[in-house]
Chain A
């Protein structure tokens, strides 16, 4: 399969949006593009499994290389393994749901859907990149639209949030760039992931440049203390942008930490392991406690994302296969769950025009579908068995516990304990907003979810339930990918 299709389809969609006029045409083109992307992702999955079943044991399948800057040996090199495919599927689900949720986007609809599509192209390109420059290029493609989406269509202190997000993520990118230069001059004179993985980078070089790559990507996934763009960015962004930000963009960081930092520099990862674990544990427990005091639904989900993304970094930092599997599962699960949660919050906000917990109550009676979606997203967040959150978090815990040192055991216990705090803030928010008496009598006149909102929620819920009930569907895809990476990580540890 030609992986370029994953970029070409969003590019054609973007072009179609440019030449469309009026909201109806624009959203139809965006919707059609998102549906094709989802179908294409499933076709990719099918062909990938077919290749594997036919005995193709290459680490990356469907590879293609094109010279980009021959003078400095930079190539446009793409290919996929199980981890990439899981992330591509996540992107496709969130993009479709995001387009559906924005169905009634009246203000500058063409520009809005165009930016969403560009963002999705950036994410697809990022997940198929096998060259650090290609990876970096698409990372930047995915950052710029966020700034505009928040700055133009956001709410509250949107300019401040957009600027903060862009500056912090650009700061992260700058660190990644320094790390890339370190990789390039480590001996291979190449930014190719496979070439660099095959030739070991000297341990001294790794120790210098690993922090740049890990922290740089870590900023994208809310690494403590560089997470402060998350609450402001998420809360100011329009619903679909929040879904993309938390559902896809934050996963770019976790994926980069694993694919570039840990995979290329395993000795340095082992050297810095205690620092990674401590920072992850702080993010998990501190993020959870900070969420307790939030009164705005979007801030609750944003801080909750800081805590949940801590699980991703904890899993990666544990440097064993079970934990890394858990980290990838958590990226997928959190992507779906948080997108669903933001969608539900957006639906509530569109009707009530408030996100403050104290101003909302008893919505289950008025809008049962939206309330049920909200509650299910919350239950997934707190790790209820049967939903994807449980599978992912449990795998991270199981993997983390395999590390017998006291520090890692304490970090694991703290991470497990954070679930209780999660349960408190989720059930409290759900209880106050969805159950009990109706706070504002005007809310009695509100309608439940429209067809597009229902479809968006069902798409995400279906993925959450499949992953929760039959986790092997996802783990069978991911496992071979992490296995190959672990072979290198273990040998070099």
Chain B
């Protein structure tokens, strides 16, 4: 935050300074004033009893270590930002060069976006989505189509039995008689 603060309001000449038309009308200032004031005094608003399940004012033990440490860390952060950015200097660049790996990782948001993209594009899309779509089209749907095609070819082969040729019908008739006779003989024996 202080890096932003120093960079915007302190040392550099604004490239767009000629476009500067003052701080804006009251309609822009007023919300900022209200929000700024509230952010300072919000801790003193007595709403503690609204945020407890019992409705009684919340009680909190103040641990000095947990209070001082964050403030100290904050102060150190502000001090570092002041050192680096209050006036134009090369300190920040030097540190960035020295801690190149950390700087790059932080600059790239610790590669979280890249990891997300890798998981979605390479893993989910390529390794799960594509095989699922392929499986559905070729295996599941392929099985259904094969079932239909098998029925069609079976029917096509049966179709030839009704050729209109009396000789063929006589052949089927005799084959049937022989077949039934054989079954009859087998059962009788």
Q: Chain A residues in contact with chain B, CB under 8 A?
A: 164, 167-168, 225, 227-228, 286, 289-290, 292-294, 303, 421, 424
Contacts and interface: CB of A to CB of B under 8 A. Distances in A.
**Do most interface residues of chain B lie in helix, strand or loop, or is the interface mixed?**
helix
B132 interface: yes
B136 interface: yes
B144 to A, nearest CB: 5
B133 A294 contact: yes
B141 A292 contact: no
B142 to A, nearest CB: 9
A360 B132 CA distance: 25
B140 A293 contact: no
B108 interface: no
A407 to B, nearest CB: 21
B133 A292 contact: yes
Nearest to B125: A292
B51 to A, nearest CB: 24
A228 B133 contact: no
Contacts of A294: 133
20 contacts: A168-B144, A227-B140, A228-B141, A286-B132, A286-B136, A289-B133, A290-B129, A290-B132, A290-B136, A292-B124, A292-B128, A292-B129, A293-B125, A293-B129, A293-B130, A293-B132, A293-B133, A294-B133, A303-B136, A424-B124
A289 B128 contact: yes
A421 B123 CA distance: 13
A289 B141 contact: no
A424 B133 CA distance: 16
Contacts of A293: 125, 129-130, 132-133
Contact of B120 (A227, A228, A424): A424
A442 B133 CA distance: 32
Given A167-B148, A424-B120, A289 B140 contact: no
A172 to B, nearest CB: 13
**Do most interface residues of chain A lie in helix, strand or loop, or is the interface mixed?**
helix
A227 B144 CA distance: 10
A225 B129 CA distance: 17
B154 to A, nearest CB: 15
Contacts, number: 39
A382 B152 CA distance: 41
Contacts of B141: 228
Contacts of B125: 292-293
Contacts of B136: 228, 286, 290, 303
A372 to B, nearest CB: 26
Nearest to A306: B136
A292 B136 CA distance: 13
Contacts of A227: 140
A167 B130 CA distance: 28
B123 to A, nearest CB: 12
A114 B84 CA distance: 78
Nearest first, the 7 closest Cβ-Cβ pairs linking A and B are: A292-B129, A293-B133, A289-B132, A228-B141, A290-B132, A293-B129, A290-B133
Interface in B34-68: none
Nearest to A286: B132
A293 B132 CA distance: 9
Given A421-B124, A424-B124, 20 more contacts: A164-B144, A164-B148, A167-B148, A225-B140, A227-B140, A228-B140, A228-B141, A286-B136, A290-B129, A290-B132, A290-B133, A290-B136, A292-B129, A292-B132, A292-B133, A293-B125, A293-B132, A293-B133, A303-B136, A424-B120
A167 B147 CA distance: 11
Contacts of B140: 225, 227-228
B30 to A, nearest CB: 32
Contacts of A167: 148
Contact of B129 (A164, A228, A289): A289
A225 B140 CA distance: 7
Nearest to B134: A293
A303 B120 CA distance: 19
Nearest to B140: A225
Contacts of A421: 124
A141 B105 CA distance: 64
A290 B128 CA distance: 8
Nearest to B144: A228
Interface string B61-96: 000000000000000000000000000000000000
A2 B136 CA distance: 46
Nearest to A232: B141
Interface in B115-145: 120, 124-125, 128-130, 132-133, 135-136, 140-141, 143-144
A164 B132 CA distance: 21
A193 B130 CA distance: 44
Nearest to B129: A292
Contacts of B132: 286, 289-290, 292-293
B60 to A, nearest CB: 33
Contacts of B143: 225
Interface in B138-168: 140-141, 143-144, 148
A168 B144 CA distance: 9
Contacts of B133: 289-290, 292-294
Contacts of A164: 144, 148
A225 B148 CA distance: 15
B166 to A, nearest CB: 36
Nearest to B151: A167
A168 B130 CA distance: 25
B100 to A, nearest CB: 35
Contacts of A290: 129, 132-133, 135-136
Contacts of B130: 293
A171 to B, nearest CB: 10
Count chain B CB atoms within 10 A of each CB in A225, A292, A293, A294 and give the residue with the most: A293
A390 B4 CA distance: 41
A65 to B, nearest CB: 40
Nearest to A292: B129
A360 to B, nearest CB: 20
Contacts of B128: 289, 292
B1 to A, nearest CB: 32
A228 B141 CA distance: 6
B118 to A, nearest CB: 14
A161 to B, nearest CB: 12
